[in-house]
Amino acid sequence: MKLELFTKGIDRSAHLSLAIERRLRSALRRFRGRVAHVRVWLEDVNGPRGGDDLRCRMEARLVPAFHVRAEETRSGAMRAVHLATQRLENGVARQLGRVHARRKGRF
């Protein structure tokens, strides 16, 4: 799985990059071989005004040519990443379940 991380308005540290990579690899481990590429965007939406202003958007490209997207906005970067990763994991499972069901003729 190839991983790309983009940031806007947030300091991109090695610790943050490593933590995001570990979280994604752990969550998507069971789909090994089916997830080809994941892009993560972290953005400070409100700037210095505060509040729930860190947006995490994720997009996974699956091997049978599908895309799954997830987004979450929270006050902490890792909290936003954690919740977006959960949404992405659920979306990937749902999409691959649909593909499997179509192949089995259940749709």
Mind listing the domains of the chain with CATH numbers? 2-104 (3.30.160.100)
Q: Residue 14 and residue 32: Cα distance in Å, rounded?
A: 24
> What pLDDT is recorded for position 59?
97
Report whether pLDDT(6) > 70.
yes
9 — pLDDT class (breaks 50, 70, 90): confident
What is the dihedral sign for C-alpha 85, 90, 94, 96? positive
Q: How many CA atoms lie within 13 A of 26 on its CB side?
A: 10
Report whether pLDDT(97) > 80.
yes
pLDDT tens-place string over residues 14-61: 999 999 999 999 999 999 889 999 999 999 888 767 666 899 999 999
pLDDT tens-place string over residues 57-75: 999 999 878 999 999 999 8
Report whether pLDDT(78) > 60.
yes
Helices in the chain by DSSP H: which ranges?
14-27, 77-104
> What pLDDT is recorded for position 65?
84
Would the pTM of this model clear 0.85, i.e. be above it?
yes
Q: Residue 66 and residue 72: Cα distance in Å, rounded?
A: 21
> What pLDDT is recorded for position 42?
95
